[in-house]
């Protein structure tokens, strides 16, 4: 009977060791995946920052152009219309 119990203990130990190794492998895969996702997030944050800066620059340029158009409207509004001749 002791031989049977010892064999049962050995089998359960092997199952436990295999399960532990599987969990350890899955953990390593998840850690690598997490690291990859962290790098991807960092890269995307940099890209967002760059695009926001670019957007702000474009916005400022458009505002400058609108301001020049408004100035042109003020200047041309002082000119006599062709209809007034």
Asked whether residue 46 is assigned to any structural domain, the reply reads yes
Per-residue DSSP letter, 81: P
**pTM of the entire predicted model:** 0.62
Quickly state the pLDDT bin for 55 (edges 50, 70, 90): very high
Asked whether residue 19 is assigned to any structural domain, the reply reads no
In this prediction, residue 84 carries a pLDDT of 56
Asked whether residue 13 is assigned to any structural domain, the reply reads no
In this prediction, residue 35 carries a pLDDT of 98
Helices (H), 1-84: 2-77
Per-residue pLDDT for 78 more than 80? no
Using one digit for the tens of pLDDT, what is the confidence trace for 28-50?
999 999 999 999 999 999 999 99
Domain with 54, as residue range(s), is 25-74
Asked whether residue 83 is assigned to any structural domain, the reply reads no
> Three-state SS for 80?
coil
Instruction: Give the total number of structural domains in the chain.
Output: 1
Percent of the chain past pLDDT 70, that is, above it, reads 93
Using one digit for the tens of pLDDT, what is the confidence trace for 9-20?
999 999 999 999
């Amino acid at each position: 009977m002791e031989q049977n119990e010892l064999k049962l203990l050995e089998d359960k130990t092997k199952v436990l060791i295999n399960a532990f190794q599987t969990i350890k492998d899955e953990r390593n895969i998840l850690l690598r995946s997490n690291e990859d996702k962290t790098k991807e997030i960092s890269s995307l944050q940099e890209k967002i920052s760059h695009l926001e800066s670019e957007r702000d620059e474009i916005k400022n340029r458009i505002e400058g152009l609108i301001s020049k158009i408004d100035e042109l409207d003020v200047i041309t509004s002082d000119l006599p219309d062709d209809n007034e001749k």
